[in-house]
Amino acid sequence: MSTELTKGKIIWPYLFWWAIWCFITAWLILYAGFPFKNAIAEAILDTVSLALVGVAMFYAMKSYRPRTQNYFYLRIWVLVLAIALTIGETAALSRFFEKEVAYTGFLHRIWPLRFCYNFLMISFVSLLNWLVYYFKEQEEVKGRATAQEQLVKDAELSKLRQQLQPHFLFNSLNSISALVGSRPEESRHMIQQLSDFLRGTLRKEEQQLVTLEEELNHLRLYLDIEKVRFGHRLHTEVVCEEAGKQIKLPHLILQPVVENAIKFGLYDTTETITIKVEVTIENGYLIIKVTNPFDPKTAAPKSGTGFGLSSAQRRLYLLYARNDLMQATATENIFTTTIKIPVI
């Protein structure tokens, strides 16, 4: 935290600025005809207390920045601080120089002036602080917007790739080719499924959020095609709470995760496998769990997220600015990928 003040080189102009005010205050007191020590005491006390208030505000604003509708509170705060500072300074100086009647009288006479000075200074400092954060925030928002644009491009690219996912597409066509001879009805059905699936991946980008129900339907098409390809070896279970079906989530966010689970499961074992997709709602999150079996002896899942999962994680980060929405864990021979979607 302190690095923000020191590293950003804000600290030097800040100190310089207060040093100037320190001199001005001292000069004013000398000008009013009081001795040097009074001038020094006054200057140091005023300047240091205002500078400290400024620093305190800097850190307070770091964790809490008033929104436009709350500026009223900020003004109240500035007023309260100005009053407190005026009373505090007058009391401290009167006490310190209590034997100098001329000076204490002066102090009591000028309190409105002191209040105005404090009020203006604190207002100014708080405005400065606010601006510093405002520009910083602006920069972050801009950065995220650029990343978001990039994401749209990436998503488009990955959709294209999806659409042309060579292994999946050609093997599906090969299966259809095999079905045509013996089971023409089934082949027609599979052509329909494949078409619907491909159409789904071509959806317009504007509809970035879709309901869970739509997303699961799309997923089911994919799973059904894979089941035709792999026959009895592949079993799937999709369980979803009824209440969750209308919740919105990013389009095609589940697809790569399930695809990864299928690849991982089917190519890492020779047995029959079950891919499970479970959706629950917990504490304002849609929790989607995808599990697949694997062979811990030979697979050694890559640390952290696993294989094709990084793109899904990246998308979640760009959409929600959070890195903790996807987790991958391996226990014994089950690999679990969990996605959390904040319910809006």
Instruction: Return the DSSP state at 165.
Output: -
Query: E strands of the chain, at which residues?
Result: 209-211, 234-240, 248-250, 273-282, 285-293, 326-331, 334-342
Supply angle C-alpha 191, 195, 198, rounded to 5.
140
Residue with Cβ nearer other proteins (124 or 170): 170
Q: Coil, strand or helix: which one is 331?
A: strand
Taking a C-beta distance cutoff of 8 angstroms, is the pair 274, 235 a contact?
A: yes
Smallest separation (angstroms) from other proteins to the CB of 262: 12
Q: Which of 70, 146, 150, 177 binds other proteins (CB under 8 A)?
A: 177
Piece of the chain touching other proteins by CB under 8 A; list 24-32, 135-143, 250-258, 292-300:
292-300
- Between CA 249 and CA 197 the distance in angstroms is 18
Residue nearer to other proteins on the CB measure, 66 or 296: 296
Contacts with other proteins: how many residues (CB under 8 A)? 27
What span, in angstroms and rounded, lies between the C-alpha atoms of 148 and 142? 10
Per-position x/- string for 214-243, each x denoting binding to other proteins as judged by CB under 8 A, each - no binding: --------------xxxx-x----------
> What is the distance in angstroms between the CA of the first residue and the CA of the last residue of the chain?
32
Q: Does 167 bind other proteins (CB under 8 A)?
A: yes
Give the x-and-dash track for 244-273 against other proteins (CB under 8 A): ----------------------xxxxx---
**Whole-angstrom distance, CA of residue 277 vs CA of residue 254:** 10
173 to 194, 261, 277, 293: CA distances (angstroms)? 9, 22, 26, 27
Q: Smallest gap, in angstroms, from Cβ of residue 295 to other proteins?
A: 8
Tell the smallest beta-carbon distance from residue 174 to other proteins (Å). Answer: 4
Of 50 and 266, which CB lies nearer to other proteins in the complex structure?
Answer: 266
> In this chain, which of 6, 138, 148, 174 binds other proteins, going by CB under 8 A?
174
Q: Are 290 and 274 in contact (CB under 8 A)?
A: no
- Told to check if 173 binds other proteins by CB under 8 A, we report yes
Amino acid letter for position 338: T
**Closer Cβ to other proteins, 171 or 280, answer by number:** 171
**Member of 175, 201, 255, 292 binding other proteins (CB under 8 A):** 175
Write out the binding residues for other proteins, residues 180-209 only, by CB under 8 A: 181-182
Query: Interface residues with other proteins (CB under 8 A)?
Result: 166-167, 170-171, 173-179, 181-182, 228-231, 233, 266-270, 295, 297-298, 300
